[in-house]
Structure 1
Amino acid sequence: MNRYITIILIGLSILIFSFDSSQTRLSEDEKYIQKADSVLALMTLGEKIGQLNLPAGGDITTGQATSTDLGQNIKDGKTGGLFNLKGVEKIREAQRIAVEESRLGIPLIFGMDVIHGYETLFPIPLGVSATWDMDLIEKTARMAAKEASADGINWTFSPMTDISRDPRWGRVSEGNGEDPYLGAKIAEAMVKGYQGDDLSDIHTILACVKHFALYGAPEAGRDYHTVDMSRNRMYNEYFPPYKAAVEAGVGTVMTAFNDVDGLPASGNRWLMTEMLRNQWGFDGFVVTDYTAINEMIDHGLGDLQNVSALALKAGVDMDMVGEGFLTTLEKSLGEGKITEEQIDSACRRILVAKFKLGLFEDPYRYCDTERATTEIFTADNRRFAREVAAQSFVLLKNENQVLPLQKNGTIALIGPLADNRENMAGTWSVAGRFDESVSLKDGIENALGDQAKILHARGANIVNDADLEARVSIFGKPTLRDERSAEEMIQEAVEIASQADVIVAALGEAAEMSGEASSLSDIEFPESQRDLLKALKETGKPIVLVLFTGRPRAMTWENENLDAILNVWFAGSEAGDAIADVLFGDVNPSGKLTMTFPQNTGQIPIYYNHKNTGRPLAEGAWFEKFRSNYLDVPNEPLYPFGYGLSYTTFNYGGIKVSNEQIKGDQKLTASIELSNTGKFDGAEVVQLYIRDVVASITRPMRELKGFQKVNLKAGETKTISFEIFIEDLKFYNYDIDYLWEPGEFEIMIGGNASEVKVTSITWN
């Protein structure tokens, strides 16, 4: 059939459908399905399979796409979308081939790893989660969507909602920490931010919740490794954020690399169909992670044809990069291993997404070069990124109120991360302008002008091992390794420090020491940097550690010996200015940890909402024989979940409840007085925890069930109230029934998981 006639037929079928008055009774989703079916009816088997193929788009360049293999595949209808192709001109060219040179003219979808901002970068997700501010988090996703869509992108592979309790796993930097309740709230906010209320709005993009499922719990913290857990733990502790994203209307879901119950996620029908679609009602499309179908071969499930058929039957719709669908499904269909209805179902879901994005109406709707020049990396966007970054920082220690610093005297700025713009972005920042990020040195100089003297020395390399440091820099964010000996660098730093009033030590990880394929067996502070700190300690000058990290670190020595520790994660484009805002008191830190910091690596996994044992250690005790404890270290973490200091102080009163005896569907109100007892205005994250004291199965010692970020002026007192319903008491029991059980409950309110006020109620 002539290509132009075919395209006209598609247009006419959609138009006829649109004017059919009988369709007014259909829901919006049903209308999109029927529109997709009108296209599906015109497609060949090869074109249907082509829609299930998602290659990387790196070899498309303006004016040259038609001469590449990728360009030919687009022309032949063998491509449903592209990902990580940057630049509106390149995207427009690829789209032009799809809609003007392929037989049916079906538009492509364009995805990118827009993880914590597009060109304007926010802190890494673990850092943004530390704001505990859902409105702010939603706005970061909305701004990322606005920038990405202005440059041709209409699909992001975010949010990552994998719960993790093991900081050896590098991808904790890309998630929201250890708690399912907080993770669910953040997932919902991110989906709303990316997708808005209408996907056809050109300022929104399609979200993709990942990695389904359980990717954050690999054995030994080693990326891509085996995951093995009970159904009870899955449902109660790991599934809630994924489910929250689905309930928020997320358009796509990405499969995980790991196996679940012995089946890799990409071939696991229980996960992709029974759970995701049948139980949760997900109606979008499922895409694999990068070559995840092919990797099932190494998992031991057969050759490419076999694992591709397995994935399709499981409920996977789009194959990222691997081309197993593209090259084997037609053969599998002929051999009866799959059905054409399974291919049609996958193709239909992808077409529906394209209709929702408005791509059939206008394939070039995201290719406005004017938007690309006026809406990306703007001054307003950068100001907002600076605000978010400052709110994400967590003050871990502040002995004798060393912070905030005075804007006078002499400051020694020391460390390998003090003057390194490229590493401010952190991991998964593929579209960022690294060379335009603000370094800490830049930020301090901007804040001080000529009011104070700044002395600078490197002091140490990130790590002593040059080979390890080379592996860290693999994604092109140089650590700027110094070839001098460690002794020379330390001597220079000590000489600089001896001339200063205070030392600001910019230390921690390089950007890619956390992230994908960046697992560590030991999360102790790097030896090279600890040696530097020990030498600086000998000067007797106060030391402020500005900690750059994408994961919890074991820092017992640093906590015991340094005067102040400010955790700044990797703060994005405006890192340096935001850090200076907090160091000098223009912003009072209010961030709270969303992941527990252990005292040493051996405590891992460590998390606040653990269960009790039959031989619990007495509260406040360090060691007792035949109790659940260690010989060499207390059970307690270095910094607990929810922890974070302020330049002011907060006092919690006692908990008041509306009733100590609650029945059925009644509402319980728990209140507490919060006072700012210090000299600074500040914000406190007030956290509500509940413990189900007696239940049919073992239950956590406490579970986060609410939080409020409260602003208080110095000397001000507010009453903070939480409303608690039966829904807050529900859990999945032994038989995976979702219910609540009457009995005694402890209500806890405080500033972190370890410091709470407690009262008890009975709910029958």
Structure 2
Amino acid sequence: MLKQLSVMAFGVAITFSATAQTTYPYQDTSLTPEQRADDLIGRLTLEEKARLMIDVSGPVERLGIKPFQWWNETLHGVARNGFATVFPITMGMAASWDDALLFRCFDAASDEARIKYRQAVRAGQMNRYQGLSFWTPNINIFRDPRWGRGQETYGEDPYLTTRMGLAVVRGLEGPKDAKYKKLLSCAKHYAVHSGPEWNRHSFNIENLPERDLWETYLPAFKALVQEGDVAEVMCAYQRIDGQPCCGQTRYLQQILRGEWGFKGIVVSDCGAIRDFHTKGHHEYTKTPVESTAKAILAGTDNECGSVYKAIPQAVREGELKESDLDVSLKRLFVGRFRLGEMDPDHLVPWMQIPEERLCSKAHNDLAYKMAQESMVLLQNKNNILPLAKENLNIAVIGPNANDSVMQWGNYSGYPTHTVTILDGIKAKVGKNATVKYINGAGHVANAVTISHFNELTTRSGVPGVEAFYWNNKEQEGAPAAATVYTNSIHLDNGGNTVFAPGVELEDFSATYTTVFKPQKDCTVTIDLKADDGYRLIINGDTVANRFRSAHGMQTTRRELKAVAGRAYDIQVDYIQVSGMAHFEFDINEKHTVSNNELVAQAADADVVVFVGGISPRLEGEEMKVDAYGFKGGDRTDIQLPQAQRELIKALKAAGKRVVYINCSGSAIALADESENCEAILQAWYPGERGGDAVADVLFGDYNPSGKLPITFYKSVNDLPDFLDYTMAGRTYRYFQGTPLWAFGYGMSYTDFVFGKPRYKKGKLSVALENIGSCDGEEVVQVYVKRIADTDGPIKTLKAFRRVNVGAGQKTEVEMELPREAFECWDKESNTMRVIPGKYNVMVGNSSRAEDLQTIVVTVK
């Protein structure tokens, strides 16, 4: 008797047949994953093996092997696969210093991931972003605030990053002793990666001091491998000492596999193997065959890309042996068997997660709680905060005040609803209080932009723009995907992001159609920006045709004098030729406004809440932004953009009290703002409930307790060269200057006092008293410094704990500080070890010297 299983792969329905009885050992669920993998590998042909070592892993129908997608994303909630709970960006979650809460967030995210996987399988699909292998956490050290991807990390400290990374792995993979893993998680990007974005495909890190390597760049990876049993490690784009990371024998073979004993899967970053031989990139090899052999022999098991299609040729030419492939394939299949992906659903508990958990109230509440804990109060002159809820006129201004998409950060899903910061403030005020929103302040220039996207409907009358995609450049055949966009469209394949599930990264085309019916007479611009080609068709007439020069970024702003009630049928045909894919579309009214006009609108305000900063549209992964101090997703300057600085200064000059909310994924130099604003709150990109969390802090419904996971410098002049990977002068551990706000810093509405720490037999204890008038949480931080070490860090975080203390209450805090916490670099032996001697142990609520109590501990 046969049972049938149908799955959609690459847009084609595939039906597998497998016997109802167990025929082969690899189908026997009582065997170990290793035994099952050994049996299955022996049944594969060379061509089948090659297909299984690429991230879009093809099926082997004769053996019942289903398609498998190795690349999925859940940086801060399930990403790029429809509706999902969107938590604050990871840098914001790091500011919570709450790894227990972080675990709960990723446990919730993994619930949603399993639900979405089950939905896809039952729908006969298995497209990108629908699989069970998730490429997170990003545990790179955020060494420089100019790095555009810093928002994806957990900050600048190895220990904080380690604690947070372990929590993510536990939340995604489930209990270590479970038969089946919930998901596969991935520690990335290994190793020594921290920007820049613009040259990552050719960059070479040379002569990195061994101390920096072992004390700063590697500890989190080692911990996730040895303590976390992380399933996957992703090798990075750049070279180290001339070898690309995905072909690095020292890092992959000697350290990862040898010293640390990693038995899991190594995946490449997307396109990283292609960088080996591409002209203008690493040029480490000459051909795809040579690149394939180098990467596989170094230990890269799975390629995100298509270079591994050369595997059969590499074997035939003697560059590889089939037995070399079997080593990688065993690791890949062990991972798949540990997921239960090849076993009946009823045997895998994770396949029984109730569907109602997807975007549930419980998960929304977790996003809310994490957003609250991520808020860092940096300044509060004259105790202007918390604000009164009544009898107060508030003006809300700034580019991030009413921007829901900003709050999602990068690599995000789509929340069912987002509470903007403006929404949160409006919901809080009470009797005789007003909230006035002043539109027009932009990130880099002031202009009132009114989108008419809400006046667009599909040709069938559904709100939005309808899109059809084809995996060819001719728009031929059945569409590979279709969707409707209800917000202004901003798509690109930066970071190897597809436009929609089922659409390839390159060589695709699309048609976008909508009907614009304005409610009043207006002059609008149809704003189009695309790489590669497009044509714009209005009411059947082609008014812009850029197909003929379909290469590179192209922009069209087509003015339309629209008449109220008249219908304008709009169609945009898009073609992607090669490389970069980018498409933006909106219909806007726009006019510039002066600072005087904006300040005048705030004339009656008792307080101005300015919600500024930057945006994921300006900082991120390998972006094509070149103006206003941004390059490739990185920043060339760390100051707040000039337009915002000048407007805040004008508000101050007009006598306004300004409360500044900074939204960013990284550190902003806010020296001017610290002078011109009464209060400053760092809100990051705070997720779907960010507006509620900000408002809670502003009005005193939540006592802020977040702490900075990074240093806020005064200017870019405080920073070494961006391309210099040595740690000298970087982060709180090596920076000799005075920061604007220090790592670990964050204010509260109450005051805490620390007693003298005590240390005995691996335990540290300290008295903590809340001498203020309201309850609060404090993060107790423990730093260590070997006194005789004159070359090493100024101090290094070794323990922390979040503690709740009631008003007027006192508590005794006990923390583990084992012998291993004193491990550091020994230049005599060139190893990490505990060196006997005297150590300063510093305890307090930030890394600032004035916030720490110090005792001397002798380690024997």
Task: Identify the TM-score tier after normalising by the shorter chain.
Answer: 0.7 to 0.9
SS at match of 1:389: helix
Alpha-carbon distance between aligned partners in 2 of 1:221 and 1:685, rounded to the nearest angstrom:
38
Q: How far apart, in 1, do the equivalents of 2:786 and 2:446 lie?
A: 49
The amino acid of 2:24's aligned partner reads: S
- What amino acid maps onto 1:300 in structure 2? E
Within the candidate set 596, 607, 611, 1:502 is matched to 607
| CA RMSD in angstroms, aligned pairs only | 3.0
2:413 is the counterpart of 1:441: no
> Are residues 638 and 236 of structure 1, via their aligned partners in 2, closer, same or farther at CA, if it must alter by over 3 Å?
same
Residue 136 of structure 2 corresponds to residue 158 of structure 1: yes
Tell me the residue number matched to 1:13: 24
| 1:654 is the counterpart of 2:756 | yes
TM-score, normalising length: structure 2: 0.73
Structure-1 residue corresponding to 2:213 = 234
CA 1:193–1:18 in 2, change beyond 3 Å: closer, same or farther?
closer
Deviation string for 1:101-137 (max 9, x for gaps)? x222212333411100121111100100011111001
Q: Aligned letter for 2:250? A: W
Aligned AA (2:256): L
User: Residue 443 of structure 2 contacts residue 643 of structure 2 at CA under 8 Å; is this kept in 1?
Assistant: yes
- In structure 2, which of residues 377, 388, 397 is the aligned counterpart of residue 414 of structure 1? 397
For 1:415 and 1:174, the matched residues in 2 are separated by: 24
Match of 1:714 in 2: 807
Distance 2:348 2:196 in 1: 38
CA displacement, residues 476-512 of structure 1 (integer Å, 9 cap, x when unaligned): 899999832241xx23321232211111101001123
2:94 equivalent in structure 1: 129
Look up the match of 1:428.
411
Residue 470 of structure 2 corresponds to none
> Where does residue 615 of structure 1 map in the other structure?
none
Which amino acid is the alignment partner of residue 255 of structure 2?
M
CA-to-aligned-CA distance 1:430-456 (integer Å, 9 cap, x gap): x223x7311111112222366621101
Equivalent residue, structure 2, for 1:610: 733
Determine the C-alpha separation between the residues in 2 that align with 1:16 and 1:544.
63
Picking from 177, 188, 193, the partner of 2:171 is 193
Gap change, CA 1:652 and 1:222, over 3 Å in 2: farther
Looking at structure 2, the residues matched to 179 and 116 of structure 1 have their Cα atoms a distance apart, in angstroms, of 19
In structure 1, how many angstroms separate the alpha carbons of the residues matched to 2:443 and 2:272? Answer: 33
Q: What is the Cα deviation at residue 699 of structure 1?
A: 2.0
Counterpart of 2:837 in structure 1 is 743
Q: Distance in 2 between matches of 1:550 and 1:278?
A: 36
CA contact (8 A) 2:732 2:743 kept: no
1:362 Cα deviation after fit: 2.9
State the shift of 1:225 in Å: 3.7
Deviation (angstroms), 1:344: 0.8
2:256 touches 2:262 (CA, 8 Å); kept in 1? yes
Q: In 2 relative to 1, CA 756–412 (structure 1 residues): closer, same or farther, beyond 3 Å?
A: same
Matching residue of 2:857:
761
* One-letter amino acid of the counterpart of residue 728, structure 1: A
**Counterpart position of 1:36:** 37
**1:332 partnered with 2:314:** yes
Answering whether residue 191 of structure 2 is matched by residue 207 of structure 1, we say no
Residue 246 of structure 2: SS of its match in structure 1? helix
Given candidates 113, 129, 133, the residue that maps to 1:148 is 113
**Residue 823 of structure 2 corresponds to which residue in structure 1?**
730
Shift of 1:300: 1.2
Structure 1 window deviating more from structure 2 (194-203 vs 172-181): it is 194-203
Within-5 A mapping of 1:340-739:
340-362=322-344, 374-408=356-390, 409-429=392-412, 431-433=413-415, 436-448=417-429, 452-464=433-445, 483-487=590-594, 490-517=595-622, 518-605=633-720, 607-611=730-734, 635-658=737-760, 667-695=761-789, 698-734=791-827, 735-739=829-833
- Partners of 2:350 and 2:158 in 1: how far apart? 39
The aligned counterpart of 2:11 is: none
SS in 1 for 2:437: strand
In 2, distance between residues paired with 1:9 and 1:345?
30
What 5-or-longer segments of structure 1 have no aligned partner? 24-30, 56-78, 81-97, 467-471, 613-628, 630-634, 659-666
Instruction: State the shift of 1:200 in Å.
Output: 7.2
For 2:198 and 2:331, how far apart are their aligned partners in 1?
Answer: 37
What is the Cα deviation at residue 377 of structure 1?
1.2
Measured against aligned partners, the alpha-carbon deviations of 1:177-230 in whole angstroms (never above 9, x if no partner) come to 111111111111110010011697889211111011111265999797433422
How far residue 45 of structure 1 moved from its aligned partner, in angstroms, is: 0.8
- Assess, with a 3 A threshold, how the Cα gap between structure 1 residues 721 and 363 changes in structure 2: closer, same or farther: closer
The aligned residue for residue 323 of structure 1 is: 306
**1:397/1:565 contact within 8 Å kept:** yes
- Identity score, percent: 32
8 Å Cα contact 1:422-1:478 kept in structure 2: no
Q: Which digits, 9 at most, give the CA deviation of each residue in 1:332-365, with x for residues without a partner? A: 1111111111111111111111111111113799
- Paired residue for 1:246, among 225, 242, 261? 225
Partner of 1:62: none
Structure 1 residues 725 and 312 mapped into 2: Cα distance closer, same or farther (>3 Å)? same
CA contact (8 A) 1:427 1:511 kept: yes
The AA in structure 2 aligned to 1:276 is L
CA drift of 1:41 comes to 1.4
Deviation at 1:748, TM superposition (A): 0.7
Distance change >3 Å, CA 143–CA 161, structure 1 → 2: same
Equivalent residues of 1:554, 1:597 under 8 A apart: yes
Distance in 2 (CA, whole Å) between partners of 1:5 and 1:713 is 62
Of the three residues 104, 107, 112, the one matched with 2:66 is: 107
User: 2:274 corresponds to which residue?
Assistant: 294
- Change over 3 Å in CA distance of 1:369–1:703 after alignment to 2: closer
The structure in which a higher percent of residues are helix is 1
Task: State the shift of 1:531 in Å.
Answer: 1.1
Assess if the C-alpha contact under 8 Å between 1:688 and 1:707 holds in 2.
yes
Distance 1:9 1:308, change over 3 A: farther
Mapped to 2, the partners of 1:181 and 1:491 lie a distance apart of 48
Q: TM-score, normalised by structure 1?
A: 0.82
- 2: distance between equivalents of 1:686 and 1:151? 39
Q: Closer, same or farther in 2 for the Cα pair 1:380/1:723, shift >3 Å?
A: closer
Higher percent of residues as strand: 2
Q: Match for 1:257: what amino acid?
A: Y
Alpha-carbon separation, structure 2, partners of 1:158 and 1:219: 18
Q: 1:710 Cα shift? A: 1.0
CA contact (8 A) 2:114 2:351 kept: no
